[in-house]
C-alpha cells in the first residue's frame, strides 16, 4: 500500500468544472490502470528469477527510477508518492543487498544522491525486460487499431505528466552517467 501524507478533512479538493467526458475518463483511468499494473506485476513475476520475486511494488518502482537517474531521498519519496521514512527503510535494505549506493553531494554535504550499483543496474535491466515481455503478451490479443489507441492514450497521459502544470518541488534530479 502506498503511504501518502494525510490531508486534513477540512481541505476539500477543488472541484473540476463539469465535463462528462473528463468524468468518464477519470473514472476509467482510476478503475483500469491500477488493475493493469498489478496484472503486469503478477505476469512478470511468474517469469522472473527468484532474486527479483522478494522485492515489493515500491522497491520495483525505486529500482526503475534509479535506473534512469540519481535522486536524493526526498526526491525519490516525492516521486514514489510515499513518505521519506518509508523510502529510507527500503533504501537501507537495498543498500544492504548491494543494489543501491549513497553518494554525498560534492557541493552540499547535507545532500546524498542515491544510485544503482552495477548489480542493481543489472537487476533493473532484467526487470524491465521481464515487464516488457509481460506487457507485450498481455497486449498481444489486441488488433493494431486498439494498440494505436493505447499508444495515443499513453502519449496524452505522458504529455500531462510533463506539461507546464507539473508542480514537482524537487527539480534537482541528475542524469546518471554510470
Q: Tens-of-pLDDT digits for all 178 residues of the chain?
A: 444 455 555 576 777 777 889 899 989 999 998 888 888 877 777 777 665 667 777 888 899 899 999 999 999 999 888 899 999 999 999 999 999 999 998 998 889 999 999 999 998 888 888 888 888 988 999 999 999 999 999 999 989 888 765 544 444 445 544 4
Q: Which fold has domain 40-160?
A: Arc Repressor Mutant, subunit A (1.10.10)
Residue 66 CB partners (closer than 8 Å, separation 6+): 76, 100, 114, 115, 116, 120, 124, 176
Beta carbons of 103 and 112 less than 8 angstroms apart: yes
State residue 17's pLDDT score.
72
d(CA 57, CA 40): 11
Listed residue (126, 123, 64, 73) closest to 103, CA to CA = 73
State residue 130's pLDDT score.
83
> Which residues in 48-87 are b (16+ Cβ under 10 Å) and which e?
beeebeebeebbbbbbebbbebbbbbebbbbbbebeeeeb
State residue 42's pLDDT score.
78
- pTM of the predicted model as reported, rounded to 2 decimal places: 0.65
State residue 149's pLDDT score.
95
Residue 111: count other Cβ atoms within 10 Å of its Cβ.
15
Q: What angle do CA 37, 97, 104 make, to 5 degrees?
A: 95
Chain position carrying cell 489507441? 149
Would you give the end-to-end CA distance of the chain in angstroms? 31
Amino acid at each position: 500500500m502506498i503511504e501518502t501524507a494525510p490531508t486534513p478533512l477540512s481541505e476539500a479538493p477543488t472541484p473540476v468544472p463539469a465535463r462528462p467526458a473528463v468524468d468518464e475518463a477519470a473514472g476509467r483511468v482510476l478503475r483500469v490502470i491500477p488493475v493493469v499494473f498489478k496484472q503486469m506485476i503478477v505476469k512478470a513475476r511468474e517469469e522472473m528469477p527468484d532474486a527479483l520475486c522478494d522485492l515489493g511494488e515500491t522497491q520495483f518502482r525505486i529500482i526503475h527510477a534509479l535506473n534512469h537517474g540519481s535522486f536524493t531521498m526526498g526526491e525519490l519519496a516525492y516521486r514514489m508518492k510515499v513518505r521519506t521514512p518509508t523510502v529510507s527503510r527500503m533504501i537501507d535494505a537495498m543498500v544492504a543487498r548491494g543494489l543501491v549506493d549513497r553518494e554525498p553531494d560534492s557541493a552540499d554535504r547535507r545532500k546524498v544522491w542515491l544510485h544503482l550499483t552495477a548489480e542493481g543496474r543489472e537487476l533493473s535491466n532484467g526487470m524491465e525486460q521481464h515487464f516488457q515481455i509481460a506487457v507485450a503478451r498481455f497486449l498481444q490479443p489486441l488488433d493494431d487499431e486498439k494498440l494505436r489507441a493505447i499508444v495515443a492514450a499513453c502519449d496524452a497521459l505522458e504529455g500531462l505528466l510533463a506539461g507546464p502544470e507539473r508542480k514537482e518541488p524537487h527539480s534537482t534530479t541528475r542524469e546518471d552517467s554510470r
